[in-house]
Structure 1
Amino acid sequence: MSYEKVSILGVDFINTTMNEMIARLGDHLEKEEKAFVVTANPEIVLAAHNDQDYQKLLAKANYITADGIGVVKAAQLLGQPLPERVTGFDMFMALLQLANEKSYKLYLLGAKPEVLEKTKQAVESQFPNVTIVGSHHGFFEWDEPTIENEIKETEPDLVFVALGFPRQEKWISERISSFNKGIFIGIGGSFDVLAGEVNRAPEIWQKLNVEWLYRLIQQPSRWKRMMALPIFAGKVIGQKVKGSK
């Protein structure tokens, strides 16, 4: 499927809304096709900008969506506006709803064992028509074949990978060719949110585009990661200036 792209620091984002993205992925699911989805925030874009190998890895994805408001603002600055954020957690929930309607099969990969268990319980409670065909926590040897073999045997329609970046993108990119079908999507800390381990920002904070600030208040240890935001902004301004010459 072709689509309009917006390039930010060498990372190509799909120009889409949340509803359009879910419809697009739903079409892949109906056709039993494979797709690799990256949900990228400024931190991921900056990492790709600084690491050519990671950038090449992201380029293998079928779709890269704007997970953070910083990406949306950057696109606006570059004169290639994106309509809205298409976040990992929101896609996770929307795809679970779609899976519930269509009785799709899921595989869950990531988080601590106890968080994964709570995530499974939440999915089974809120989306009773979904079948979880397998799961594995995020602590495993990289070359461990068990996970890959289980996915091959069970053929889930959706594989949610919550290993955090860059590990989740690397895991998917190295293995997706082994599978016959399925949407493979990296969703960071989404299991923690669904499991109730981490509170998502209230809707008013989300509408004001300061969800990042709420997360920082909840988890002060994230301050070092937040330092990527001004660096990202500076790089985007540099792209803007370079492009205008």
Structure 2
Amino acid sequence: MLNFKEVLGYHFVDNTMDELVSEVHSRIAVSEKTFIVTANPEIITYAQSNPFYDEIIKNSDYITPDGIGIVIASKMLGRPLRERLAGFDLMSNLLELSNKEHYRIYLLGTKPDIIDLSASNIKKAFPNIEIVGFHHGYFQSDEKIIKEIQEKQPDLVFVGLGFPKQEKWISDNLPHFAKGVFIGVGGCLNIWAGVSKRAPKLMVNLNLEWLYRLVKEPSRSKRMLAIPLFLSRVFRQ
């Protein structure tokens, strides 16, 4: 069983990565449909200003603290979370689990000429994984994707459409499926494809991954404005 702590009205998983992966493993074992949101300050700030997205986030099965800002906020509010559960690390751990258990994987997102690289590199890293399908994120209709997931019955579906699109897609389409753990993974598919790089391990360990991403992608500066807004709301609370 996982533990939870409330931060700014959202109930975050308050466990270690190993405990979270074990919980996902147990849900896959009984084919229990699961919706996981990997939430950082940008996602929470957006949800607080958009009721439709707020409802989607709160109706998910698990919200994980993907972003050191969430962990800092929890400490400021006197409800300290045990650790940051980064989305890329969660995906990597679940891929490793799938490699051991021969779980079936479906990938959805990124550009048409990139998603096949994501699938190929994941397969190279985890030879025992069965990638039963993948589709780029530039689609006009859900029908083909829904039908393929229904037919292939994957155990894990990684959706990299960026927020809020990926969470909305999961929320809208989850009723169509009989099983599967669905996780919004943002830009993780680009990292697996090799077109984006994750911050060096030292910066990750120092919780400076956000700074690395900002330097590498200056276009993210507008999105980063969500962080001071998020912190101001924490101070007010």
> Same-fold call, TM > 0.5?
yes
8 Å contact 1:9–1:49 — kept in the other structure? no
Structure 1: distance between partners of 2:13 and 2:79: 11
8 Å contact 2:116–2:134 — kept in the other structure? no
Structure 2: distance between partners of 1:217 and 1:53: 32
What is the match of residue 190 of structure 2?
Answer: 192
- Which SS does the other structure have where 1:175 is aligned? helix
Q: Tell me the TM-score normalized by structure 2.
A: 0.97
What is the match of residue 238 of structure 1?
Answer: 236
- Which SS does the other structure have where 1:132 is aligned? strand
Task: Give the alignment of 1:25-40 within 5 angstroms.
Answer: 25-40=24-39
The root-mean-square deviation of aligned C-alpha atoms, in Å, is: 1.0
Structure 2: distance between partners of 1:196 and 1:4: 35
Structure 2: distance between partners of 1:91 and 1:218: 23
Structure 1: distance between partners of 2:231 and 2:55: 22
What is the match of residue 129 of structure 1?
Answer: 128
What is the match of residue 117 of structure 2?
Answer: 118
Structure 1: distance between partners of 2:231 and 2:189: 29
Structure 2: distance between partners of 1:117 and 1:151: 17
What is the match of residue 78 of structure 1?
Answer: 77
Structure 2: distance between partners of 1:90 and 1:168: 18
Q: Which letter maps to 1:28?
A: R
Q: Deviations over 1:176-223 (max 9, x none)?
A: 121111110000000111111111111110111111001111111111
Worse-superposed segment, 8-17 or 215-224: 8-17
Q: Deviations over 1:32-88 (max 9, x none)?
A: 211100000000000111111111011121000000000000001111111111111
Q: CA deviation at 1:31?
A: 1.4
What is the match of residue 159 of structure 2?
Answer: 161
What number of residue pairs does the alignment pair up? 237
Identity %: 46
Answering whether residue 143 of structure 2 is matched by residue 145 of structure 1, we say yes
What is the match of residue 59 of structure 2?
Answer: 60
- Which SS does the other structure have where 1:161 is aligned? strand
Structure 2: distance between partners of 1:7 and 1:237: 15
8 Å contact 2:7–2:79 — kept in the other structure? no
- Which SS does the other structure have where 1:113 is aligned? coil
8 Å contact 1:165–1:188 — kept in the other structure? yes
Q: Which letter maps to 2:81?
A: L
8 Å contact 1:10–1:49 — kept in the other structure? no
- Which SS does the other structure have where 1:184 is aligned? strand
Q: CA deviation at 1:7?
A: 2.1
Q: Deviations over 1:77-117 (max 9, x none)?
A: 11111111111111111111000000111110000012101
Q: CA deviation at 1:15?
A: 1.0
Q: Deviations over 1:162-189 (max 9, x none)?
A: 0000000000011112111111000000
**Where does structure 1 lack aligned partners over 5 or more consecutive residues?**
240-245
What is the match of residue 213 of structure 1?
Answer: 211
